A and B are shown apart, each in its own frame.
Chain A
Amino acid sequence: DAKTTQPPSMDCAEGRAANLPCNHSTISGNEYVYWYRQIHSQGPQYIIHGLKNNETNEMASLIITEDRKSSTLILPHATLRDTAVYYCISADGGSNYKLTFGKGTLLTVNP
């Protein structure tokens, strides 16, 4: 079973920020938080990952709470092409890359 909880769906207006929450209350000290997304009928795409500090890259920002029990993925200016299922995954950041996918959040960006 997935160790994270995400809302099943969210909507966002084009051009606005999309904030996707994730609960991972049982995350252990050596586990990272990974975010992937899957556009319909394609393989998952890596977005970002973090351990305890907030992270930012060209795609998104990841905000992790101080107790590490939850996080938020932020797409600063959502576009229609960001419509996808977003998966939040907690997993060992070492040599074990085994990722267990939950149901994710279907983000729909509306014009």
Chain B
Amino acid sequence: GAVVSQHPSWVICKSGTSVKIECRSLDFQATTMFWYRQFPKQSLMLMATSNEGSKATYEQGVEKDKFLINHASLTLSTLTVTSAHPEDSSFYICSAARLAGGPGELFFGEGSRLTVL
């Protein structure tokens, strides 16, 4: 099946620093990518929808200035957590929709675990 890769898979940073997480579709083009956040023992929460070449659409309650999303190409979307704080520690997961794909053509990355000290 199609592969979506995230990097880094885990990162530890100091409070106040910014962290960038990459999401790549390795063998297909993705016009749309989604970013989720998952806290321990909770379900995935959609943060934003990222469309190639346009601004991301954020879900209610998600600060767009804190979680910067860039989708500059059909194979890469990045999530930057700016001025990270301990409460931003979470498992961040991206998914990518295959260009012109039908139902079921949505693939998830392996996730990136962020720990803010």
Please tell me the number of chain B residues within 8 Å of chain A, measured between CB atoms: 26
Question: Do B104 and A49 have beta carbons less than 8 Å apart?
Answer: yes
Q: In whole angstroms, how far apart are the Cα atoms of A95 and B99 in the complex?
A: 9
Give B5-23 as 1s and 0s: 1 = Cβ < 8 Å from A's Cβ atoms: 0100000000000000000
In the complex the two chains form, what is the Cα distance from A45 to B107 in whole Å?
7
Question: How far in angstroms is the closest Cβ of chain A from B71?
Answer: 14
26 A-B pairs with C-beta separation under 8 A: A2-B43, A32-B103, A32-B104, A41-B111, A42-B111, A43-B109, A43-B110, A43-B111, A44-B44, A44-B93, A45-B108, A49-B103, A51-B103, A87-B43, A93-B102, A95-B32, A95-B97, A97-B34, A97-B95, A97-B106, A98-B46, A100-B46, A101-B43, A101-B44, A101-B45, A102-B43
